[in-house]
Amino acid sequence: MHIKSCKSRGHIYYAVVRSKRRENKVFQEYLLKLGRLDNLTETQRLELENKISAIGENDLLKKFHDLLYSIGYSFPSPISFFSVEKVYEYGRELALHKLCEEIDFINIINHHGYKGGGPELGKIVEAMAIARNCDPFSYFQLHEWYSRSKLPFFLKLPSEDLTYDVAIRALDYLQPENTIPMQVALYENIRRVHGYECDRLDIDLTSTYFEGQECVLAEYGHPRGHSSDKLQIVIAFVVDQKGVLVTHKVWPGNRTDVKSLKPVDRCLKNEFKLDAPRVVDRGMATWENLAYMDRKKERYLVALRAGIKGTGLLEEIRIPRDEWVDAGDKQVAASVIKGRRKYVVVWNASVAETNKKERKSKISRTEEELKDVLESIEKGDIESRTERDEKIGQIKKKYGVKRSLITKGNRKGFGFTFEWTKALTEADKYDGYQVFVTTEFDLSEKDVIESYRTRDQIEKAIRTLKSVLGLHPQYVRTKEHVLGNIFVCATAFQLRSILGMKLKDEGIDMSVEEAMKSLEGLKAVHIVVNKDEGIQVLRKLTGLDSETRILVEVFNMVETEKFPEVDTENFK
């Protein structure tokens, strides 16, 4: 086994190869590509040494060092022999662990989710939540990832104690009767540590699906971002004005938006004792749900589900539209107060024009396809009224015009006539309107619109949960494991949202994704050095550039004791 060089395009590239014989012919098998070594950084050298050591050839590392000396590489210290014992994942793990320490994460989980024997539940859940933020893999891969990270040292939880079976059993303890008190205590500590009050609560629903037919929680329902042939569950998430996750709730997949608001609201009121305005979209904002929140004296800001025509608000607003308040973005607005509700009616010129164009296009395409049916009748391709009516029904359903299109069959033959209802032809005057309803009378019309727009943070949260933290799809099957796994995903986002809040509070113009990427390059390297006076262990932090240094300060990651001791007896 040796290190081979080859020249390509003016550069020399290296690789570890070994000779093998096949059918009396000798050929070289490539085991590890080393690449160029003339521009090697110390971090790259340490990583290559770790990979070379993993091959298991005793003198291969020495050959590599001799090669580096021969091409003029300058080592950081005069040594006769050294090896890279460990390269630990460090940055992201320590930053998230420090956040957990601030909010007393482990003690809260342990207090509300006692389990007898084995590792502490709080440490297991913290490890799983941090793993979701770093590499959202299956629980089968958790042990391997955990052993490569510094978390065993931070958590004082040996890697051999966090197996697949331990992680799966932990999910059994993460059920709503335990996790709701956990979330209550965690959210209280988050606000206490970061010094703020809850001013609004954004509520939204999503769904995630399963492969197979085994999960007892899953049902077929209205899909959100996936095909309708998948079994699914529905999840409501709640975040506050800073984007920090408060809580979540899970239902079978056939749960509707309309029926989801009341149980979430009761939880926020009874368990979390939060009276901040609830901000919800049209899916939940029915007249029934508004009446419920009025009875409970809840505060809210919603986009009304009902259309402007059915509210009668245009008749109540006596001010001509050209005298309405300018709300920006080609919008004007006016308001009406009725009881404890303030109705804000918004008209958007761009939306009105778009609605008009879409309706004309829909009418045109519907008429074209109906004319095609008439031509088919004339050609004799349609031979019964039943077949004709089926085709007409398919067209009406396709373009959503069942209520606005009237068709009448001829007395003779299979022909028919069609006409549009008066409601559709008069729809122009209702284009571009949207209605918001709020209990916050001190908000101006423009304030209401802008405040509602900020709810896109919960939509971003749901996208992050699905695309980054592994919420979508679900790979566990039992009801208990599904509920536990969703709690882990939600907790992972809660930690991520705290990280984002800290960046904003410190005035750092960096997204969470950018910060995590920068922290990913931060690694702890243990170098075992054999000098004349005996074995020494060097501990070095790599990847510490100017940007990462800022993050190290923000997340209080500078303690030197965070480097674990290494038993040098193993190397004598």
Tokens 């149980």, located at residue: 263
Domain membership of residue 184 (yes or no) is: no
DSSP 3-state of 271? coil
Report whether pLDDT(568) > 50.
Answer: no
Q: How many CB atoms lie within 10 A of CB 6?
A: 9
Condensed to tens digits (0 to 9), the pLDDT of residues 57-107 reads: 877 888 888 788 788 777 664 444 445 555 666 789 989 999 999 999 999
Where is 463: in which H helix or E strand?
helix 456-467
Is residue 344 very low, low, confident or very high in pLDDT (cuts 50, 70, 90)? very high
Domain membership of residue 517 (yes or no) is: no
Condensed to tens digits (0 to 9), the pLDDT of residues 176-189 reads: 999 999 999 999 99
**What is d(CA 261, CA 153) in angstroms, rounded to the nearest whole number?**
43
**Considering 17, 50, 75, which residue would you say is the last residue of a domain?**
75
Of 9-18, 207-216, 442-451, 525-534, give the lowest mean pLDDT range: 525-534
Domains of the chain: total: 2
Report whether pLDDT(518) > 70.
Answer: yes
Domain membership of residue 265 (yes or no) is: no
pLDDT of residue 336: 95
Domain membership of residue 168 (yes or no) is: no
Alpha helices in 256-348 (DSSP H): 261-270, 287-295, 308-311, 313-316
Where is 496: in which H helix or E strand?
helix 479-505
Q: Rounded to an integer, what is the distance from CA 141 to the centroid of its chain?
A: 20
Higher pLDDT pick, 486 / 20 = 486
Domain membership of residue 494 (yes or no) is: no
**Considering 44, 60, 75, which residue would you say is the last residue of a domain?**
75
Condensed to tens digits (0 to 9), the pLDDT of residues 324-340 reads: 999 988 899 999 999 99
Single-letter residue type at 436: F
Residue 180 in tokens: 């709701």
Residue 159 in tokens: 């890697």
Tokens 């913290």, located at residue: 126
Condensed to tens digits (0 to 9), the pLDDT of residues 521-556 reads: 877 665 555 544 444 544 556 666 778 778 888 888
Phi, psi of 230 (to 5 degrees): -105, 135
The count of residues in the chain is: 572
From residue 242, alpha-carbon distances to 184, 198, 200, 277 in Å are 17, 9, 9, 14
Report whether pLDDT(416) > 90.
Answer: yes
Domain membership of residue 167 (yes or no) is: no
Domain membership of residue 193 (yes or no) is: no
Q: What is the DSSP letter of 305?
A: S
Domain membership of residue 149 (yes or no) is: no
Residue 539 in tokens: 């501990």
From residue 292, alpha-carbon distances to 200, 215, 234, 262, 299 in Å are 18, 33, 22, 8, 11
Distance separating the N- and C-terminal Cα atoms of the chain: 25
- Sequential DSSP letters for 336-404: EEETTEEEEEEEEHHHHHHHHHHHHHHHHHHHHHHHHHHHHHHHT---SHHHHHHHHHHHHHHHT-TTT
Residue 531 in tokens: 């000098």
Contact 491, 455 (CB under 8 A): no
Percent over 90 (pLDDT), the chain: 51
pLDDT of residue 524: 66
Report whether pLDDT(227) > 60.
Answer: no
**Considering 75, 109, 138, which residue would you say is the last residue of a domain?**
75
Range of the domain at 414: 295-446
Is residue 213 very low, low, confident or very high in pLDDT (cuts 50, 70, 90)? low
Is 0.85 surpassed by the pTM of this model?
no
